[in-house]
Amino acid sequence: MVRNYVRKSTIGSGYSQETLTIAVDLIKSGSLSTYRASKIYKIPKNTLADHVKGRRVTSLADCICCLEKWGFGLTRKEIIKIVADYVRVNNIKTQFKNGIPGEDWFLNFKRRHNLSLTTPQSVEFARKKNVDPFLIYDYFDLLEKTVKELGLDDKPSQIWNLKESSFCCDPSKTKIVGQKGYPSTRTTSGPGKQNTTVLMCCSAIGDKAPPLIIFKGKNVWDQWVAPPDTEFPNTTYAATSNGWMESAVFKNYFQKSFIKHLSDDRPVLVIYNGHATHLSVDVFKTAIENQITILKLPPHTSHLLQPLDLSVFKSLKTRWDAKLVEWQRKNVGVKIPKCIFSKLIGEIWTDTKPEIIINGFVKAGISPINRNVVPVELFDPTAIQRWKSRQAQKIADVSLPSTSSVSDIDH
């Protein structure tokens, strides 16, 4: 239905921004009283008073945008209910039917304030909470300090990132062509979705370390390993009771696979999240002995600061899905063997272009260092204001003369 709403009310349309500015200037200079200016320029006295005294009137649109930014966006029905309640409580006369705004009002409200109806992305509360300027910028301070102390400003080959991810054995991303108006299906090996954990590691210059594939089980069997000359060179395998990462498995990979892959150039910086399985005395001891510095990302910020999450895994998962579809067409109804899983993982990791990996480090603000990769709009407005105040205070403290210098001047 096409809506051509014509506004009938004249409230707020009797003056322009230019007229408002002139009236406010005349009141401030003492040439006119608020009452006289209101009569002459046909501007509500309250509006003039707010602008003269510098009071910022928070509009409904401002509130809606703030709530959306904080992760609590309002629906169309909620906004209409808020307006209806405000009209009722304040006994305001409107042309709303039964005091409730209609669809025409909402559409024009959206247009006037440049708003839109969108499907929100789900973000864990912990992630939303940790998008904090104090956490993010303090991390970049530490990153910059560490890179300078290690002398790695121009040595991206010695800066590494590692992260594990889950690879599903049932494709879900690859689209197919079918008849319009009819459902499409894909034949799989079974109703369940089996996932396998794979740890990837790469450098800011695009180098790739051997992956670690973790299967569910008590032991790693020979038939789980990819056929000879088909796996990524020196791929490491492990088995755990639930198929997830464990401290002993990570320690073994770090000591016997990752370090062996590194060149003789030292020092090395390794950046990863602070999952409990990545943190152990043995890992730290090994790192120190091999001139490796470990820098932990702030908690729940992988979606903003982890190179592998920002660029690499998306490309990997897309190509992984396509590989699965191709294999299932040739092996209808057959569950993918672990050795084939290992083979396909090796293929997509081998085919991953260095440019994709390098782009991940750029997006994460690691190489080159760029603390502005996280948009200011993602921060809580109150928190970013407090952070700016802290920075201003730091600058003021640095600029103050020391006690000894003041004493010298007096003498």
- Residue 19 to residue 151: CA distance in whole angstroms: 60
Which residue type is seen at 151?
G
Lowest-confidence segment of 66-70, 238-242, 386-390 by average pLDDT: 66-70
Q: Tell me the percentage of the chain whose pLDDT exceeds 70.
A: 81
- pLDDT band per the 50, 70, 90 thresholds, residue 365: very high
Quote the tokens at residue 320: 């992984």
CA proximity to 269, closest of 316, 213, 205: 205
Question: pLDDT tens digits, residue range 143-172?
Answer: 999 999 999 999 999 999 999 999 988 755
Q: Domains in the chain, start-ordered, CATH in brackets? A: 12-56 (1.10.10.60), 58-120 (no CATH), 125-173+189-363 (3.30.420.10), 381-410 (no CATH)
Q: Measured between alpha carbons, how far is 91 from 93 in angstroms, rounded to an integer?
A: 7
CA–CA gap between residue 269 and residue 144 (Å, rounded): 12
d(CA 369, CA 102): 51
Of 146, 142, 151, 159, nearest in space to 367 by CA = 159
In single-letter form, the type of residue at position 157 comes to S
251-304 residue pLDDT tens: 999 999 999 999 999 999 999 987 778 877 888 889 999 999 999 898 888 889
Residue 143 in tokens: 């990153």
What confidence score (pLDDT) does residue 279 get? 77
pLDDT, mean of residues 328-353? 91
Coil vs helix vs strand at 399: helix
